[in-house]
Amino acid sequence: MTNMGIVVPDPDYHDALRALTCEHGTLLVIDETHTISAGPGGCTTEWGLDPDLFTIGKAIGSGIPSGALGLSEQVAQAMMEQPDADYEDTGGVGGTLAGNAFSLAAMRATLEKVLTAEAYGRAIPLASRFTDGVRKAVADHGLGWNVTQLGCRAEYRFQPEPARNGTEAHAVADPELERYMHLYALNRGVLLTPFHNMALMGPTTTVDDVDRHTAVFTDAVAALV
């Protein structure tokens, strides 16, 4: 979950989910569109998940309209054994963007240059540096905020402990405080994601970028206090 902020699952949550779906004959779909930040294979690889279907959206094309769907061998075989099934039309695979050369080129470039082990090897430590900088500023000024990191993505929230679900995350939102933090940073040359307080490190992010945010964030917190 990231639309309401980064909500990391409790230990054994996914093991229990997989067990329940197996028990009741339900397919397990893991959508990595946002959580691909965890690593080259998303949370599925990093956490050793075992979905029946794996899906990812425009992140696989660096924001260009695109997507991909992975199937387990068992699911793929069951689908292909239905010769009359119309997967291209009613199945939703066909459409305006089907076979779009620009989207395919964007996906190839992303897979070769962006979503690589080497790129994550640089970006994830930068996210940790970002997290450490924010956490220190918050602690030094006695604020009850927390920071959550998911691979190369990090986010601070205005509550002492990370949210356990989307409802809880939404309930503690503070639009006025969020606007203050964003505007303070923007006026000093740091542009944050225009929703929540989330930062995503990429192949072009540098140590200087992260440290610049830490300095501006620290000043914003000091002024606020």
Tens digits of residue pLDDT in 181-190 = 999 999 999 9
Confirm if 176 and 220 have CB atoms less than 8 A apart. no
pLDDT tens per residue, range 36-70 = 999 999 999 999 999 999 999 999 999 998 889 89
Domain's final residue, options 80, 113, 146: 113
How much is the average pLDDT of 173-196?
Answer: 91
Confirm if 188 and 174 have CB atoms less than 8 A apart. no
Give the pairing type, strands 53-56 and 29-31: parallel
pLDDT at site 54: 94
Is 75 within the bounds of a domain? Answer: yes
Domain match, 132 and 74 both: no
- Residue 134 sits at φ, ψ, to 5 deg, of -65, -45
Domain match, 213 and 145 both: yes
Domain match, 103 and 186 both: no
Domain match, 122 and 150 both: yes
Dist. CA 170–CA 159, nearest whole Å = 11
Is 5 within the bounds of a domain? Answer: no
Domain match, 208 and 155 both: yes
DSSP state of 5: B
* Count of domains observed in the chain: 2
Least confident interval from 74-78, 103-107, 168-172, 215-219: 168-172
Domain match, 127 and 212 both: yes
DSSP secondary structure string for all residues of 128-179: HHHHHHHHHHHHHTT---EEEEETTEEEEESSSS--SSHHHHHHT--HHHHH
For the chain, what is the mean pLDDT?
Answer: 91
pLDDT at site 166: 86
Confirm if 200 and 37 have CB atoms less than 8 A apart. yes
Confirm if 156 and 224 have CB atoms less than 8 A apart. no
Is 131 within the bounds of a domain? Answer: yes
The answer, as to whether pTM is greater than 0.75, is yes
Domain match, 64 and 148 both: no
Domain match, 109 and 129 both: no
What is the residue range of 179's domain?
117-224
Is 7 within the bounds of a domain? Answer: no
Domain match, 89 and 168 both: no
Is 6 within the bounds of a domain? Answer: no
Domain match, 131 and 216 both: yes
At 170, is the pLDDT very low, low, confident or very high (cuts 50, 70, 90)?
confident
Q: How far from 143 is each of 136, 218, 221, CA to CA, in Å?
A: 10, 12, 9
Q: Does position 196 have pLDDT exceeding 90, yes or no?
A: no
How much is the average pLDDT of 94-112?
Answer: 85
Domain match, 59 and 145 both: no
Q: Does position 212 have pLDDT exceeding 70, yes or no?
A: yes
pLDDT at site 120: 97
How much is the average pLDDT of 196-207?
Answer: 92
Domain match, 23 and 103 both: yes
